[in-house]
Amino acid sequence: MSENKIISGLDIGTTKICAIIGEYDPKKNIYKILGLGKAPSLGLKRGVIVDVEKTKQSIIEAVKLAQKRANIPITGVTIGLAGDHIRSLNSNSTITISHKGENAIHDAEVDESDVERVLSSAKSINVGVDREIIHILPQKYHVDDQIGITNPIGMSGNKLTINALIITAAINNVKNLVRSVQSTGLNVHGIILEPLSSAESVLNEDQKELGVALIDIGGGTTDVTVFQDGYVKHAGVIGYGGSIITKDIASLIHTSFDEAERIKTNYAWASTLLINEDDKIDIKVKSLNGKDEIKLDSYQLSLYVEARIEEILNLVKEQIEKYINIKKLSGGIIFTGGGALLKGISETNFKIFGVQSQIGYPNRLPGLNTSNFSPEYSTAIGLLHWAKNDSNNQSITSIDSDAKIWYKLKEFLTKIIKQYF
């Protein structure tokens, strides 16, 4: 009998909501994507839900599509959390290692209960009444004077210290997120900070060890995650992304958001230095009233884009430099998210950060490494990694039987009802 699990995630982004259903084989540690569903996101601003009802409708649409493609119904999801209300702070804590056994007076050995105690002690900091802790990410442990230990279990000593990164979020924003999902009838199996999710699908262990900054440029937010020596050194969210570039274009040339988005994704470059006189492309755009035609070329368009993308990347730089010297990130900069598809982003990156960059594709999960998914799916695909540890996951065999039949029947009946009523 198969022990494979059905795992599912929901990336509630500012421009799109993406539901993903996958299968995880714990024996081989292999993932498979069974269904992806995408729907326009209408109820978010800068990564935060501002309209629960609209968000609910988009979630229903995305989940329905994913279920249809996977031919599997789901009952719960692991969800991604973002928004510029996310904060990270360092917490250090020390406990006395407990002495176990009869003759253990002299050599106390760190076990799982000590690690749990030191973690919960690091967690007991005051984060404010309107905030809650989403993650506690261990960085390094120290056992007496032995410093920089990744896994202290089994080590002898008296005192165990942890350096941890604590991620907090505004309680109300988390509640709205959970409410939107639950209102669709789905259970929330877990909440994962979106930058951590993208990191799992995009980065490899060497990059995390050498030092790398993952920049996920979405629609309403740009997520920044810095890894060094294998652990998360910083995770933060900036409340700007590709949507503000689209808005700039729309307001500067007096066109609709849809037209602005179309010309941005087709003709814009992150840097005007990359456009030669001969390469300029003439663009025709419909005016706001839909009757007139506006003419501009790809150089003029890129001037608008250049100004804003440089501003966003400078905010990212400012944030990273509070925690680490960027030049020390031997793994460089990795761009992901839909905004990473902006032509010429690597060149602008070099101008601002002075280190090399690459586009990060979500192909790091075992089993998915041969597929070519767009960087806009990095968060959704990374959620599968986190979802696999959930104890609520259903086994594929239980789904195969009754639920699958019921799902097919429901789909069939819905079609009939739509046809006749």
Ligand X SMILES: Nc1ncnc2c1ncn2[C@@H]1O[C@H](COP(=O)(O)OP(=O)(O)OP(=O)(O)O)[C@@H](O)[C@H]1O
What residue ranges bind ligand X (CB under 6 A)? 13-16, 41, 47, 82, 218-221, 241-243, 246, 261, 264-265, 337-339, 341-342, 376
- Could you tell me the two tokens for 36? 């992806």
CA distance 6 to 397: 9
- Could you tell me the two tokens for 114? 């000590």
- The residue range among 10-18, 303-311, 355-363, 393-401 that interacts with Mg ion, by the rule CB under 5 A, is 10-18
* Helices 242-253 and 298-321, packing angle to 10 deg: 140
Which one of Mg ion, ligand X, none is in contact with 265 (Cβ closer than 5 to 8 A by kind)? ligand X
- The residue range among 83-91, 218-226, 273-281, 355-363 that interacts with Mg ion, by the rule CB under 5 A, is 218-226
The minimum distance between CB 296 and ligand X, in angstroms, equals: 17
The minimum distance between CB 135 and ligand X, in angstroms, equals: 18
- 383: exposed, middle or buried (C-beta count within 10 Å: 0-12, 13-18, 19+)? buried
Per-residue contact flags (x/-) with Mg ion for residues 374 to 403, judged by CB under 5 A = -----x------------------------
If binding means CB under 5 A, how many residues of this protein chain bind Mg ion? 3
Q: Is 360 in the site for Mg ion (CB under 5 A)?
A: no
Which residues on neighbouring strands pair with residue 226, listed in sequence order? 213, 234
- 112: exposed, middle or buried (C-beta count within 10 Å: 0-12, 13-18, 19+)? exposed
Residue with CB nearest Mg ion?
A: 218
The minimum distance between CB 61 and ligand X, in angstroms, equals: 14
Q: Is 239 in the site for Mg ion (CB under 5 A)?
A: no
Tell me whether residue 243 or residue 379 sits nearer to Mg ion (CB atom). Answer: 379
What element of type H or E holds 357? strand 357-359
Which one of Mg ion, ligand X, none is in contact with 242 (Cβ closer than 5 to 8 A by kind)? ligand X
Tell me whether residue 195 or residue 331 sits nearer to ligand X (CB atom). Answer: 195
Tell me whether residue 258 or residue 292 sits nearer to ligand X (CB atom). Answer: 258
DSSP states of 382-419:
HHHHHHTT-TTPEEHHHIIIIIHHHHHHHHHHHHHHHH
For the chain, how are helix, strand and coil distributed in percent, rounded to 5? Answer: 40, 30, 30
The minimum distance between CB 244 and ligand X, in angstroms, equals: 8
CA distance 277 to 264: 19
Which one of ligand X, Mg ion, none is in contact with 109 (Cβ closer than 5 to 8 A by kind)? none
CA 10 centroid distance within chain: 10
Tell me whether residue 6 or residue 305 sits nearer to ligand X (CB atom). Answer: 305
Which one of ligand X, Mg ion, none is in contact with 341 (Cβ closer than 5 to 8 A by kind)? ligand X
Q: What single DSSP character describes residue 291?
A: S
The answer to whether the CB of 22 falls within 8 A of the CB of 30 is no
The answer to whether the CB of 198 falls within 8 A of the CB of 380 is no
The minimum distance between CB 388 and Mg ion, in angstroms, equals: 21
The minimum distance between CB 17 and Mg ion, in angstroms, equals: 10
The minimum distance between CB 174 and Mg ion, in angstroms, equals: 17
Give just the sign of the alpha carbon dihedral 34, 203, 372, 64.
Answer: positive
Tell me whether residue 212 or residue 380 sits nearer to Mg ion (CB atom). Answer: 380
The minimum distance between CB 9 and ligand X, in angstroms, equals: 13
Q: Is 218 in the site for Mg ion (CB under 5 A)?
A: yes
Tell me whether residue 285 or residue 380 sits nearer to Mg ion (CB atom). Answer: 380
Q: What is the CA radius of gyration of the chain?
A: 24
The minimum distance between CB 263 and ligand X, in angstroms, equals: 10
The answer to whether the CB of 45 falls within 8 A of the CB of 18 is no
Tell me whether residue 79 or residue 115 sits nearer to Mg ion (CB atom). Answer: 79
The answer to whether the CB of 60 falls within 8 A of the CB of 20 is no
**Burial letters for 210-236: b for 16+ Cβ neighbours within 10 Å, e otherwise?**
bbbbbbbbbbbbbbbbbbbeebbbbbb
Tell me whether residue 193 or residue 365 sits nearer to ligand X (CB atom). Answer: 193
Q: Is 338 in the site for Mg ion (CB under 5 A)?
A: no
- Region of 185 please: left (phi>0), alpha (psi -120 to 50) or beta: left
- The residue range among 7-15, 267-275, 339-347, 402-410 that interacts with Mg ion, by the rule CB under 5 A, is 7-15
Tell me whether residue 40 or residue 148 sits nearer to ligand X (CB atom). Answer: 40
The minimum distance between CB 221 and ligand X, in angstroms, equals: 4
Binding region for Mg ion (CB under 5 A): 13, 218, 379
